[in-house]
Every structure is written in structure tokens, then in C-alpha cells.
């Protein structure tokens, strides 16, 4: 979930609000966007204010000694959901490996949630709270190289989502038949809004158990694979789920409702069968069976270009939710109302009719859930690559030309008002441009690589081998691309991702003689010593790569008429200024 982004006109996470009020607004806003995008974009500086960072931001985002001293290996989370009082009671057993000697460790839980006790080896531990951070005092020093665990018992009324999934928390709602329908989404806000954990993206448990107790008239679908369900004498039922892989804290979810389910299998290229499960409202069962036929072609596409589905043992699942969607690992939230595009709208305006939520949120199983960032400042790794994966699907289904149109349609969603790399150590992600700008940037890198066989091996290598199930950062990605491509791309990455503006190409043409022009050009950038080829076309040459940097350069090109000269800004995401 990206922070609210005014310049994109209620377009955040590449998604649109779906309740009736916002759908009404959306129709108006979408029409306005087509007509008045430039006006809105130019006005956004009036809407934004620079954020003032606090001690609470530092406690949440930084790698303090109380965090680096231990590595979480397993979470055993139990939650009892009180639908009447919109409250939860729970406990989390946190198993860890000690990295450095310590006696104080930090975990995280929002202030509005009450800690009833924290214990280790049956003994109660002292703790102190500072904002949403909890500092636990062990009864004796814990030595490096040892293993340990604590259990946190807690309760309270968790944050209620105001506009899920963008402004997350618990969504307490009702289905069409008046039965409780509850869902959790907390990207950006953080998992510690509803369960105690080490709320830092760089430390994922190796595996996790999620147990949820609900009224026996309801069903709970969580992440991973269901182990069993136990009916209790008090008229409740506990569902036990197990995640066999590392998982981001914000991906941990509960989906509670009157679900019906149907099952399918996907056969991989090597013959292995992937378990597929769908959980939907009973009145939407037939719609779901039709709409979800898009899943298998999508899995085939992503297997080809990104590698096999990464969480094979847990299986793939779509779970209908009362909000639009979210990439919850192994239990992807689906709330697109069985429509095409974004809640029925083709924002790209090129006539494609696939279900965006299925394609985009499933792409996160590779980008974000398997290949994960260490710090939320690098959330662009999740969102930029995943948005680019939409175009991979479009290319697979409809061809390269259509995919190129799809990518370039994202330009209207980019304001270029802030860097997409956020501020490290403050739980601060970058600008919402990370989605569309990230996709356009990767299309630019593909152009510079200029070798599709190499390009696809690089993309697949990131997901399938080099960074699979790993937490990475900006430097890891830049180093990888430089090494695999054999090209120095460091200044290109820096300009697109660490600055708001994109490269500006200044150029002029001067006729020398019949069929020949002199071209003078340079790049204008924030990054000094910027180097990137300039890609142009003429009737005589469909695609030319010209050496480009911050110095004016002059070359002769074969060209009959000046009007035949084209700067290929469909292949490179750039601004162009004719001098």
C-alpha cells in the first residue's frame, strides 16, 4: 500500500477506491484526468507539506542494537476475533537466533493495543513502551549464537481501516447476506498495528503458524496452507494455517467470512502440480469460476519470465475481500468485483480487458513476497518491478507492440515530484511514482541492454536464483544489473530513482546538404557525469543508439527531412527539448 498520492487523482498502488461513494467520485475524476491532468499535476506542490520526522519514526524504521541483536526464525501467532466488539485477544511466540549478546530487545506493537504479559521460559519479563516500540528486558543476558523465545500476550481494539488497503487495519464489514466479513490489510502502516512482532522488513521469519479463532458460522483464511480446524465447546472454531516460507510481516493476514471454496491445479513446465484454491462469497461462486480462468495463463506467463511460482508448498490462493486487493502471500486479496481493469476501468485506455487485481497482485508473489526489500525506502523494488510485470503479461498475451503502448500509457500517472527511493531508517517509502515510473524506467533499461535474450535472463535470474527469498536493497539491484548487462548503469539508476526529474534531452538539427543533417545534443540531469545512449529513429534507420552524456555532442545523420527525425521516448522515459 503506497501513501496517499494526490497527484495521481485517487490512483494509488495502481488501484482505485471501490465503495459506492468513491466509485462515483472515480468516474468524475477519471474523466477529469483525461482532460486536465497537466493542470492537476502542476498544482500539487500546493497540496503537499514536508514531513517532520519524530522519535517514533526512528524507533519504527531504524536498525537499533535492540533490533540487530536477534534474528526472528519463527512466529507462532494466535488471535481470537470478537466480531461483536471488534476486538482481538491474542498471543505471539517469537522464536529467535541471537546475533549479538543482549539483555534488551525491541519488538513493536501499536500503543492502542494492550500488552497483558511477556514471558520467557515461564517467567514474566519486564518491559517498557515508547510510542509503538516495546523494549523487553530479559531476566539474564542472552549470549550470541544461542536460540531463545518470548511469548507476548495482548488484546485490544485494532486500528480500523478507513480506506483499505491504502489506509489499512481491520475492515469490519458485512456481506450481501448480512454475515460478518472481516479482512486485514496493513502495508505501510505495519503489522504491529494488530500483532506484536519485529516490525522491520529486513527480518522475516523462516516460517510461521497463524491460528485464528472465530464464530463457528464463519471461516478464517490466512496465509500458507490450512493444517486443520477445531470446533470448540463455546461455539467457536479455530483455524490453523502454516506458512512454510519466509514472509513479510505486512503480508500476514486474516480473512474471515462465510466463504465457499473451489479448487484447481496448475501444471508447471516440469510437470509439477501447483495447488490452487479460491475462497469467495457464495453468491459470487459462478462469477469467480469464470473470472479466475485468467489465473492459469498468468501463472504460465510468470513461470516463463520470472520462474516457477515461489511458494509452491503453500500453494496459490485468491481470497475475496471487501476491499480492492492486496498481495498477501499465498492468500492474495481479491476485491475487484469480477470486473476487468481497475474496478471496471481500463486506465491505460488501450482496450485491454484483463482483471488488473489478478495480474498485478499475483505478480507480487515474485516481486515483494519472494524478492523483498530490507527497508521500506526501497519499496520501489516491490512496486516498480511488479508494475513492469503487468507489461510482461501484456506482451505474453498480446505482443510487444501492445505491451509498449501499455507501458507508455503509465506516463499520465507520473508527476516526477519526488524520488522513488525513500529515506532509510525512518519507515519512509518513496514517491508514489514508484509504480508507473518504475515500469517506465525498467523499459528504459531494457532498451539500453538492447538484447532481449540477455534482458529476460536478467529478470528471471533476479526472481528464480540470485534474489529468491532474499531481502535486498538499491545497491544490490544496481550491482546486479551492472554485472549481468556488462554496462555501467549506475548513473541511470541514480537519476531515475534518487531524483524527482527524468533526463532531459536537448537537441537541435542543422541541414548540411541534401539527405544529411548535423545533430547537436546533450543530456541535462541532476546526476553529474551522466551517461546514457540517445535512441533516435529516421526513415533511413529505424533505431540508432548515439553516445550521450552531459556535454554537447555533434554527429551527422542521414535524413531527408527534419520532420522524419524521431526521439524514441517510447523506448526511453525522457523529456525532450528542441533548441
- pLDDT (tens digit, 9 = 90+) per residue, 10-60? 333 333 333 333 333 344 333 333 333 333 222 222 333 567 899 999 999
SS3 234: coil
Domain membership of residue 348 (yes or no) is no
Domain membership of residue 72 (yes or no) is yes
pLDDT at 46: 30
* 401: Cβ contacts below 8 Å, ≥ 6 apart: none
pLDDT at 50: 63
What is the rounded distance in angstroms from the CA atom of residue 409 to the CA atom of residue 398?
15
Instruction: Show the cell assigned to 275.
Output: 495447488
- The edge-to-edge listing of strands for the beta sheet with 126-130 is 102-108, 133-142, 126-130
Q: Closest Cα to residue 505, out of 533, 544, 545?
A: 533
**Buried residues in 1-33 as b, exposed as e (16+ CB within 10 A):** bbbebbbbbbbbbbbbbbeeebeeebeebbeeb
DSSP E strands, 199-287: 207-215, 219-221, 225-231, 236-243, 255-257, 260-267, 273-280
Tell which of 228, 257, 286 closes a domain.
257
Instruction: Show the cell assigned to 317.
Output: 490462493
Q: Would you say 132 and 192 are in contact if contact means Cβ atoms under 8 Å apart?
A: yes
Q: Which residues of the chain have pLDDT under 50?
A: 1-48
Neighbours of 216 (CB within 10 A): 14
Looking at the structure of the chain, the number of domains it has is 2
Look at the alpha carbons of 414, 419, 421, 424 in this order and tell me if their dihedral is positive or negative. Answer: negative
The 3-class secondary structure across 393-454, one letter per residue, is: HHHHHHCHHHHHHHHHHHHHHCCCCCCCCCECCCCECCCHHHCHHHHHHHHHHHHHHCCHHH
Tell which of 201, 231, 257 closes a domain.
257
pLDDT at 26: 40
Domain membership of residue 374 (yes or no) is no
Task: Give the domain CATH number at 538.
Answer: 2.60.40
pLDDT at 225: 98
Domain membership of residue 158 (yes or no) is yes
Domain membership of residue 33 (yes or no) is no
Which H or E run contains 78?
A: strand 70-82
Domain membership of residue 96 (yes or no) is yes
Domain membership of residue 473 (yes or no) is no
* 295: Cβ contacts below 8 Å, ≥ 6 apart: 264, 266, 276, 316, 318, 358, 362
Give bridge partners of residue 239 from the DSSP assignment.
Answer: 212, 229
Tell which of 227, 257, 287 closes a domain.
257
Residue whose C-alpha cell is 499465498: 330
Domain hosting 523: range is 504-578
pLDDT at 8: 39
What is the rounded distance in angstroms from the CA atom of residue 483 to the CA atom of residue 489?
10
pLDDT at 553: 97
pLDDT at 52: 86
Q: Would you say 403 and 500 are in contact if contact means Cβ atoms under 8 Å apart?
A: no
What is the rounded distance in angstroms from the CA atom of residue 473 to the CA atom of residue 375?
7
Instruction: Show the cell assigned to 525.
Output: 540531469
Report pTM: 0.92
Domain membership of residue 485 (yes or no) is no
Task: Give the domain CATH number at 100.
Answer: 2.60.40.1730
First CA to last CA across the chain, in angstroms?
41
Amino acid at each position: 500500500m503506497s501513501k496517499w498520492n494526490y497527484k495521481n487523482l485517487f490512483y494509488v498502488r495502481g488501484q482505485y477506491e471501490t465503495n459506492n461513494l468513491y466509485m462515483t467520485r472515480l468516474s468524475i475524476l477519471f474523466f477529469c484526468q483525461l482532460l486536465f491532468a497537466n493542470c492537476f499535476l502542476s498544482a500539487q506542490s500546493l497540496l503537499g507539506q514536508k514531513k517532520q520526522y519524530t522519535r517514533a519514526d526512528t524507533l519504527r524504521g531504524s536498525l537499533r542494537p535492540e533490533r540487530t541483536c536477534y534474528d526472528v526464525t519463527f512466529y507462532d501467532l494466535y488471535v481470537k476475533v470478537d466480531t461483536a466488539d471488534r476486538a482481538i485477544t491474542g498471543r505471539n511466540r517469537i522464536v529467535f537466533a541471537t546475533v549479538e549478546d543482549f539483555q534488551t530487545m525491541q519488538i513493536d506493537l501499536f500503543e492502542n493495543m494492550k500488552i497483558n504479559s511477556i514471558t520467557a521460559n515461564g517467567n514474566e519479563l519486564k518491559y517498557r513502551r515508547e510510542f509503538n516500540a516495546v523494549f523487553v528486558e530479559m531476566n539474564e543476558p542472552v549470549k550470541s549464537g544461542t536460540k531463545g523465545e518470548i511469548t507476548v500476550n495482548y488484546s485490544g481494539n485494532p486500528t480500523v481501516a478507513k480506506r483499505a488497503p491504502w489506509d489499512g487495519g481491520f475492515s469490519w464489514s458485512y456481506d450481501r447476506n448480512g454475515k460478518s466479513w472481516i479482512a486485514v490489510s496493513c502495508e505501510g502502516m505495519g503489522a504491529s498495528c494488530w500483532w506484536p512482532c519485529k516490525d522491520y522488513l529486513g527480518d522475516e521469519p523462516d516460517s510461521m503458524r497463524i491460528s485464528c479463532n472465530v464464530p463457528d458460522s464463519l471461516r478464517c483464511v490466512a496465509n500458507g496452507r490450512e493444517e486443520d480446524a477445531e470446533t470448540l465447546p463455546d461455539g467457536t472454531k479455530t483455524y490453523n494455517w502454516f506458512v512454510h516460507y519466509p514472509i513479510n510481516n505486512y503480508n500476514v493476514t486474516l480473512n474471515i467470512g462465510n466463504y465457499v471454496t473451489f479448487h484447481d491445479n496448475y501444471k508447471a513446465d516440469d510437470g509439477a502440480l501447483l495447488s490452487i484454491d479460491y475462497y469467495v462469497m457464495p453468491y459470487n461462486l459462478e462469477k469467480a469460476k469464470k473470472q479466475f480462468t485468467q489465473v492459469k495463463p498468468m501463472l504460465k506467463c510468470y513461470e516463463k519470465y520470472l520462474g516457477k511460482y515461489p511458494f509452491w508448498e503453500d500453494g496459490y490462493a485468491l481470497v475475496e475481500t471487501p476491499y480492492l486487493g492486496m498481495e498477501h502471500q499465498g492468500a492474495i486479496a481479491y476485491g475487484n468485483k469480477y470486473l476487468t481493469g481497475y474496478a471496471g476501468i481500463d486506465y491505460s485506455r488501450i482496450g485491454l480487458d484483463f482483471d488488473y487485481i489478478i495480474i498485478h497482485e499475483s505478480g507480487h508473489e515474485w516481486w515483494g513476497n519472494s524478492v523483498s526489500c530490507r527497508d521500506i525506502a526501497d519499496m520501489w523494488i516491490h512496486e516498480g518491478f511488479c508494475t513492469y510485470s503487468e507489461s510482461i503479461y501484456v506482451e505474453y498475451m498480446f505482443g510487444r507492440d501492445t505491451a509498449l503502448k501499455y507501458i507508455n500509457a503509465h506516463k499520465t500517472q507520473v508527476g516526477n515530484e519526488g524520488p522513488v527511493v525513500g529515506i532509510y531508517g525512518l519507515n519512509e517509502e518513496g514517491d508514489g511514482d514508484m509504480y508507473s515510473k518504475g515500469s517506465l524506467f525498467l523499459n528504459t533499461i531494457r532498451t539500453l541492454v538492447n538484447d532481449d535474450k540477455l534482458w529476460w535472463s536478467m529478470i528471471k535470474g533476479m526472481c528464480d536464483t540470485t534474489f529468491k527469498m532474499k531481502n535486498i536493497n538499491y545497491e544490490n539491484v544496481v550491482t546486479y544489473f551492472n554485472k549481468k548487462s556488462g554496462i555501467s548503469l549506475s548513473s541511470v539508476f541514480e537519476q531515475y530513482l534518487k531524483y524527482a526529474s527524468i533526463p532531459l534531452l536537448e537537441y537541435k538539427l542543422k541541414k548540411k546538404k541534401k539527405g544529411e543533417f548535423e545533430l547537436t545534443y546533450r543530456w541535462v540531469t541532476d546526476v553529474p557525469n551522466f551517461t546514457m545512449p540517445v535512441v533516435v529513429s529516421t526513415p533511413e534507420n529505424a533505431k540508432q543508439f548515439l553516445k550521450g552524456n552531459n556535454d554537447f555532442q555533434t554527429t551527422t545523420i542521414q535524413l531527408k527531412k527534419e520532420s522524419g527525425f524521431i526521439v524514441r521516448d517510447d523506448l526511453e522515459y525522457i523529456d525532450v527539448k528542441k533548441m
